[in-house]
């Protein structure tokens, strides 16, 4: 396998191993266990003296192909594929901390990620501080002698705020803490957290990696040492492993990741520019636009815009609901990264459990709408928004 392959080639060929049948497409190894030629072979496998699989909770051939392909793309040494994005996030954080440790996280997090930091971790004696992640001074000020983990996503959900990953990594490295980046919104194509100094990258593979709305999945990627020291035993003994069937679906999904993400990003960018001109729209937040408040950091750490657009309607909740209900091509769903364009109203769905105050802090108003671009023809999406906006008062 060539390390010099470009992403589109890595995503078709990376990590592929073939059985003795020489199949073209990756095989699905739906097996729980593995057999040994002899007692001595079993003993050697368990001692780690020979390579090979032991039990599907620990690892299995189809999952291994998916992990290796993702490692190649991400520039990571090792990875563990998980049953969902949340299994990846929870495993990456919980395998690292113990009672008495402290986590610093950006307050703008995917809802369940915020629950892990704010509600679950404290149950096990782990302290936390949530900060406005846009300002590095906040990360610096939150550091305590027992800080062990920094956790962030960038761009954030749903308001597409940016965190300076290299800046956070510098603060973390000074105290030997681990930086974990949830890179879902950027996709592995547009942002390389490990190159920016982060130590661990996590994905919900449910989103762009599957990209076609089929199965849940996740992955944790890092150095071999970090995984050996922190995640290896946790993963084996708590069992968040991905199903081999879903690993296969994700392997097929990533083959077309660059094609889909390119089309989605183009669609999102066109729609963002269209929306910015509409009288019903108060503001558009899109990482590919020059008017994004953090355009300078975006230019430094991302190589593409985003497949998501966040915008605010002047008419609040009533306008948001009217728009969503009038759309025809675009369907209402809280998911994202799908080949179908999806729209959601965060205040009443994904972020409904936050207090009004917490929502306001995140810039989520009653008129905020999040759009996830699919791979349709952009002209049809713009026509759809144009007709639907007629139902919305300016
Ligand atoms: C969807 C998502 C998750 C959770 O992933 P699941 O696969 O749904 O468990 C975590 N972080 C971000 C940013 C997400 O968008």
Under a CB-based contact definition with an 8 Å cutoff, are residues 385 and 315 in contact?
A: no
210 with 342, same domain: the answer is no
249 located within any domain: yes
The H-assigned helical ranges of the chain are 7-13, 39-47, 61-74, 85-94, 111-115, 121-123, 136-142, 165-175, 187-190, 224-226, 232-238, 244-255, 257-276, 295-301, 316-326, 356-361, 378-389
Residue pair 179/196 in contact (Cβ under 8 Å)? The answer is no
Mean pLDDT of the region 258-270: 98
Question: What residue owns the CA closest to ligand 1's atom 8?
Answer: 85
User: Could you tell me if residue 394 is inside a domain?
Assistant: no
Say whether both 143 and 60 belong to one domain: yes
Average pLDDT over residues 352-357: 92
Q: Ligand 1, from 153, 206, 214: best to mutate by most atoms within 8 Å of Cβ?
A: 206
Closest alpha carbon to 23 in 52, 61, 56: 61
Query: Which residue's CA is the closest to the ligand 1 atom numbered 2?
Result: 204
Q: Is the pLDDT of residue 1 over 80?
A: no
User: For 290-295, what is the mean pLDDT?
Assistant: 96
What pTM value is reported for the model? 0.97
Does residue 76 have its Cβ closer than 6 Å to ligand 1? no
3 pLDDT higher than 80: no
Within-domain flag for 86: yes
Bridge-based pairing of strands 147-153 and 102-106 is parallel
> Which structural domain, as residue segments, surrounds residue 346?
257-389
155 lines ligand 1 (CB under 6 A): no
What's the whole-number mean pLDDT along residues 368-383? 98
Local structure of 308: helix, strand or coil:
strand
Q: Which of 236, 255, 274 is the last residue of a domain?
A: 255
The residue-averaged pLDDT of 32-52 equals: 97
Please state, in angstroms and as integers, the Cα–Cα distance from residue 29 to each residue in 18, 65, 185, 245, 314, following that order: 11, 11, 30, 8, 53
Beta bridge partners of 342: 331, 372
User: Is the domain of 226 the same as that of 348?
Assistant: no
Q: Kindly state the tokens that stand for 91.
A: 């495993």
pLDDT band of 139, cuts 50, 70, 90? very high
Mean pLDDT score of the chain? 97
CATH value at residue 57:
3.40.640.10
Q: What is the CATH number of the domain that holds 358?
A: 3.90.1150.10
Q: Give domain status of residue 2, yes or no.
A: no
Instruction: Classify residue 40 as exposed, middle or buried by CB count within 10 Å of its CB (0-12, 13-18, 19+).
Output: exposed
Asked if 115 and 139 sit in the same domain, the reply is yes
Q: What's the chain's length in residues?
A: 394
Domain boundary among 255, 287, 312: 255
Shared domain for 219 and 359, answered yes or no, is: no
**Is the domain of 192 the same as that of 322?**
no
pLDDT of 376 strictly over 80:
yes
Q: Are residues 338 and 384 both part of a single domain?
A: yes
Q: What's the 339 CA to ligand 1 centre distance in angstroms?
A: 17
383 and 310, same domain (yes or no): yes
Residue where a domain stops, chosen among 234, 255, 276: 255
Is 53 found in the same domain as 30? yes
pLDDT band of residue 2 (cuts 50, 70, 90) is: low
Average pLDDT over residues 240-250: 98
Q: Is the CB of 114 under 6 A from ligand 1?
A: no
Are residues 175 and 65 located together in one domain of the fold?
Answer: yes
Q: Is residue 176 part of a domain?
A: yes
In a domain, residue 240? The reply is yes
Output the pLDDT for position 394: 83
- pLDDT (tens digit, 9 = 90+) per residue, 162-210? 999 999 999 999 999 999 999 999 999 999 999 999 999 999 999 999 9
* Structural domain count of the chain: 2
Does residue 77 sit within a domain?
yes
Task: Place 150 in a pLDDT band, splitting at 50, 70 and 90.
Answer: very high
CB distance 86 to ligand 1 below 6 Å:
yes
The rounded Å distance from CA 24 to ligand 1 centre is 31
Residues 297 and 161: their CA atoms lie apart, in Å, by 11
Pair (338, 241) in one structural domain:
no
Domain co-membership, 240 together with 365: no
| Residue 1 lies inside a defined structural domain of this protein | no
């Amino acid at each position: 396998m060539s390390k010099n392959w470009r992403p589109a080639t890595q995503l078709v060929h990376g990590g592929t191993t073939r059985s003795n049948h020489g199949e073209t497409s990756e095989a699905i190894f739906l097996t729980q266990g593995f057999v040994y030629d002899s007692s001595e072979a079993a003993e050697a496998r368990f001692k780690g003296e020979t390579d090979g699989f032991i039990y599907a909770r620990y690892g299995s051939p189809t999952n291994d192909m998916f992990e290796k392909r993702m490692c190649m793309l991400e520039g990571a040494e090792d990875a563990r594929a998980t049953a969902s994005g949340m299994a990846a996030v929870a495993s990456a954080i919980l395998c690292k901390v113990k009672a008495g440790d402290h986590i610093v996280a950006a307050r703008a997090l995917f809802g369940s990620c915020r629950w892990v930091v704010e509600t679950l971790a404290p149950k096990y004696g782990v302290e936390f501080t949530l900060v406005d992640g846009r300002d590095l001074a906040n990360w610096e000020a939150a550091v305590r002698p027992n800080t062990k983990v920094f956790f962030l996503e960038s761009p954030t959900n749903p308001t597409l705020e940016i965190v300076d990953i290299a800046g956070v990594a510098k603060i973390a490295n000074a105290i030997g803490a681990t930086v974990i980046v949830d890179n879902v919104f950027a996709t592995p194509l547009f942002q390389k957290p490990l190159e920016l100094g982060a130590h661990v990258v996590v994905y919900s593979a449910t989103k762009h990696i599957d990209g076609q709305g089929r199965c849940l999945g996740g992955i944790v990627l890092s150095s071999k040492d970090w995984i050996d020291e922190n995640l290896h035993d946790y993963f084996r003994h708590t069992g968040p492993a991905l199903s081999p069937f879903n690993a296969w679906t994700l392997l097929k999904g990533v083959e077309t990741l660059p094609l889909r993400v390119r089309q989605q990003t183009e669609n999102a960018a066109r729609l963002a520019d269209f929306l910015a001109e509409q009288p019903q729209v108060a503001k558009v937040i899109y990482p590919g636009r020059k008017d994004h408040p953090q355009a300078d950091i975006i230019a430094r750490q991302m190589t593409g815009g985003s497949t998501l657009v966040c915008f605010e309607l002047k008419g609040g909740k009533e306008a948001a609901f009217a728009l969503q209900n009038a759309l025809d091509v675009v369907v209402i769903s809280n998911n994202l990264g799908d080949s179908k364009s999806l729209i959601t109203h965060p205040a009443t769905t994904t972020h409904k459990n936050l207090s009004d105050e917490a929502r306001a802090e995140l810039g989520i108003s009653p008129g905020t709408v999040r759009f996830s671009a699919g791979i349709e023809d952009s002209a049809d999406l713009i026509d759809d928004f144009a007709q639907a906006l007629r139902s919305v008062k300016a």
